[in-house]
Amino acid sequence: MTAGMAFGKSAPDASPYAGEEPYGTPVVHKKAGLTRRGKMAIAVAGVAIVGGGTIWFQVHSAAVAKDEKEAAALQIQMKKLELEEMRIRNEQASREEKAAAASAEKIQAAVDKCVKDSFGLIGKGYGSPSRSDVVADCKQQYETADGSGMRAAGNAQDATNEGGGEISSPVLLGLVAGGGLAIAMFARKGKKADA
């Protein structure tokens, strides 16, 4: 034995913290990645996202299909209303046409009677009316008595008044609002210039 050992010194105790290598125990690196619990959480979240997306898509598709059906039904309803309006207009036009034809027949009958009654005056001397003058006078007398001439004049008056010089209420409101805004801006500029 050696001299150091003789005095009661034994081999140094192996410390649990002392490494076998000169730089200490080697650090064991864990494998990179998720734990089993993390992998399960990601799998559950993925299934939830895919399932939720599928359900949302089905609900959205059903809503779109419902909206398309409602739009188609609305278009059909609009077409029905347009056809009904056209039918009513056609009926009204045919009634007006029948009334105009009846009125024209009455006028023609009255003109014929007037011409027949005035036929004895034609060519009976100097200054007597000619046949065309009698016909023209009778036509003028009975056509204006019917009132159709007044209707024509009224329609012409309405046609000339369309789109006249009136100012509509939205335009008037816009003009007033614009004028008020301009006055407010000028008043504000005046206050800044005075200050």
- The residue ranges of every structural domain in the chain are 38-154
Q: 146: which 2 tokens?
A: 């019917």
- Could you tell me the pTM of the whole model? 0.36
Q: How far, in Å, CA of 189 to CA of 195, rounded?
A: 10
pLDDT band with cut points at 50, 70 and 90 for residue 32: confident
Q: 78: which 2 tokens?
A: 């609009």
The answer to whether the CB of 173 falls within 8 A of the CB of 145 is no
Over residues 166-191, the pLDDT tens digits come to: 566 777 777 777 777 878 877 777 66
